[in-house]
Chain A
Amino acid sequence: MQQLVNAIIRFRNGLVYLLLISLSILLLQRSSAYHRSLVANVSVIFSAQLSDLVNYFTRYTNLIETNKRLLKENQILLDQILFEEKLPSDTLTYSSIPLQVIRNSFMNSYNYITIRGGKNSGIKNEMGLVTAQGIVGVVQFVQTRYAQAISILNKDLKINAKLKNSSHFGSLTWPGDDPTRMKLFDVPKTAMIKVGDTIQTGGMSTIFPPNLLIGSISNFVDDPSKSFYDIEISLFQDMTNLGTVFAINHPLAEEVKSVQQSSNEK
């Protein structure tokens, strides 16, 4: 027994290292989406203000680039307005809130976007974030002046999407490797698809309105043993370069959620 105690004392650093590295790996691998988001929430409180301070100065150096992007975004938005005026009027009117991205990660498995704008700006949980080029994330935590969103480059996030041509629905996820590509699953083989087809939001939730751009099909696998396609999407939005984003406000989000909750209870 004494020898065992002596051995433990002698190799205590090795044992402490094993304990701490196991704890780190446990945090890294086994942590649930809830725990990861809890850390993300703490991160908003601690580091959003720091990043914002730096962002305040760096914005001036990027003004030319920002102007170019805004011009392009304006042009696309104008095109969309003109296009929508030709359609029968929608019963829902979505509104958007412009927000500045102050931090954006894209190299981890679970990426987040920190934005300036919180409860003061009317930001709420589960609002979708978009740009003129496509969707970028979903708001997850809202503080008074800052908010954190799950990036679409986050393995936890699943987005309802559809094919523009045929309106077949599927589930969009990020496999965790390339920040320019995502995967679309569960599209049945009855759908006729080809490389280059546009993918849009499905609009089956209150997060994103239907028909928002996501990307185009860059590749797909037609496995005869499966009844669904395995589709690779090339994103329209460059997720490594986010400046201004828009939070989408669903006018009836609360009502839809309460209806869904009551139907789930039944």
Chain B
Amino acid sequence: MKSRSYPFIAYFFLLPILQVMVFDQLDLGAQLVPHVTLLFLIFYPTDADQTFYLFAAFLYGLYLDTLHSTMGLQAAACVTAAFLRPFIITSVFGKNHGYVNIRLQQTPLLALSAYCLNIVLIHHLVYYVFGVSSWTQWLRIVQQFIFGSLFTLLFLIAIMFLLQKNKQ
């Protein structure tokens, strides 16, 4: 196992725990919480095997489902975001990005934000559409999708900004 895998194994287990303990408590009402667990999907090495990444995302989603008592909901959202990530990387960073990993210090915050926005939108779209209990409440679902995505994105950008500053 490559030594650079160790941080990601740690993120895999620790981010969901951090989510439950800290970020789930920042409820803006109507269970609108920032999904910072997406950092694992965002920063997973882009040159790693995509098939393995899909399985990792699925297991990560199931782990989140177990912590939140949501059977299969996070798994579906995470695996969809993971599947579409190569297309997002190509569209945001260009075709030449290839096998270069996304690094906090070397990537401009604006490009990182655009990349995060796409991942967040896909994840939240699946999360709220699959989690819908009744379509009579479609307006509320749309509102949750929009505000939930913005809330998550805001947190992700803030975390990345702080980490960038810290590393500099």
Q: Which residues of A contact B (CB under 8 A)?
A: 12-14, 16-17, 20-21, 23-28, 31, 35-36, 39-40, 42-43, 46-47, 50-51, 53-54, 58, 105-110, 112, 155, 175-178, 240
Contacts and interface: CB of A to CB of B under 8 A. Distances in A.
Contact of A28 (B17, B30, B51, B73): B73
Contacts of A26: 72
A53 to B, nearest CB: 7
Nearest to B17: A50
B71 A47 contact: no
Contact of A47 (B20, B22, B72): B20
Interface in B76-124: 76, 79-80, 83
Interface of B: 17, 20-22, 24-25, 30-31, 50-51, 54-55, 58, 61, 65-73, 75-76, 79-80, 83, 130-131, 133-134, 136-137, 144
Nearest to A27: B72
A193 to B, nearest CB: 23
Given A28-B71, A47-B67, 9 more contacts: A20-B79, A21-B79, A21-B80, A23-B75, A24-B73, A25-B130, A39-B66, A40-B69, A50-B21
Contact of A53 (B21, B31, B61, B134): B21
17 contacts: A13-B50, A24-B72, A24-B75, A24-B130, A25-B72, A36-B71, A39-B69, A39-B71, A43-B68, A46-B67, A47-B67, A51-B20, A51-B21, A51-B24, A107-B31, A108-B133, A110-B69
A13 B69 contact: no
B100 to A, nearest CB: 20
B76 A16 contact: no
B25 A108 contact: no
Contacts of B22: 54
Contacts of A12: 51
Contacts of A43: 66-69
A27 B17 contact: no
A161 to B, nearest CB: 21
Contact of B83 (A17, A51, A175): A17
B137 A17 contact: no
Most A C-beta atoms less than 10 A away, residue of B50, B61, B70: B70
Please list the 10 inter-chain residue pairs (A to B) with the smallest Cβ-Cβ separation, ordered nearest first: A27-B72, A176-B133, A24-B76, A177-B134, A28-B72, A109-B133, A17-B83, A24-B75, A107-B31, A24-B72
Nearest to B130: A28
A195 B39 CA distance: 50
Given A40-B69, A47-B67, A107-B31, A177 B133 contact: yes
Most B C-beta atoms less than 10 A away, residue of A35, A47, A54: A47
Contacts of A51: 20-21, 24
Contacts of B67: 43, 46-47, 50
Given A25-B76, A35-B71, A107-B30, A54 B21 contact: yes
Contact of A27 (B24, B71, B137, B144): B71
A108 B70 CA distance: 8
Nearest to A112: B69
B4 to A, nearest CB: 22
